[in-house]
Homo-oligomer: A and B are copies of this chain.
Amino acid sequence: MRVLMVGDIVGKTGRRMVVQHVRALREAEGIDFVVANGENAAGGNGLTHDVMDELLSAGIDVITSGNHIFDKKEVFQFIDDVPQLLRPINLPSGTPGHGYVVRSCQGVPVAVVNVSGRAFMPFQYDDPFRAIDHVLESLSGEVTVVLVDFHAETTSEKAAFAWYLDGRVTAVVGTHTHVPTADERILPQGTAFLTDLGMTGPMDSVIGVKTDLVVQRMLTQRPVRFETAVGRGQFGALLIDIDDGTGKALAIKRFLIRE
């Protein structure tokens, strides 16, 4: 099967890019399954039910997230009931929502797992290595295609996590830094890896936020209220061709669409 994994969707511009490109790419590229990170989809922070509906209607099969998942309080009302909306698996036990899901794609079960890194993150997470081991154990024997969104800050934690999982999952793609990296590769045991998908959002910005506000914050070192930028969009994604039988990545292609 052919899967597309899409980076953090940021605000109105990010959603517009999703609407314009996801269905078109599905058709043009023969994509069977789409995963996208939605943690910044509603005005830059979190997501609402309406925004989630918009994303799912636009051709996204599973929405992953990260540290911003609970920024909009209304998410607590529906996150337990929407299996295709994920939050990291390594949040404290008792956290609402689900950290992974198994969906069927043309009769083949596909697992999507959302994990968070720990280094320099604004919250404290449980050990991502043990957490994914535990999930993989529970999936074992049933699911071969496993797609991992690893939401983390540092390149070292992302690379270590991917190598740790090489041969055990189909893909490890990073999110959170909002900048696409150019290091896509298939690791020796068949796991596709990309340090960061990059955001799907407004190009003329500092990782999605209005440039002037971020510069002002850094120049003054005083509190500045951030606002999400709008305008020309970018769309960051990785296309993965998968051997349905073994779950290995056969080929990958990185996308960076810019307006």
Contacts and interface: CB of A to CB of B under 8 A. Distances in A.
Contact of A198 (B127, B178, B182, B188): B182
A124 B183 contact: no
Given A118-B124, A124-B118, A164 B130 contact: no
Contacts of A185: 203
A155 B197 CA distance: 13
Interface in A141-196: 153-157, 159-161, 163-164, 177-183, 185, 188, 195-196
A180 B180 CA distance: 9
A154 to B, nearest CB: 8
A16 to B, nearest CB: 19
A69 to B, nearest CB: 9
Interface string A83-110: 0000000011111000000000000000
A216 to B, nearest CB: 9
* Size category, A interface: 35 or more
A163 B118 CA distance: 25
Nearest to A209: B156
Contacts of A178: 155
Given A130-B93, A156-B214, A218-B160, A223 B70 contact: yes
Highest count of chain B CB atoms <10 Å: which of A70, A153, A182, A221:
A221
A254 B182 contact: yes
A155 B209 CA distance: 12
Given A180-B183, A182-B256, A124 B221 contact: yes
A206 interface: yes
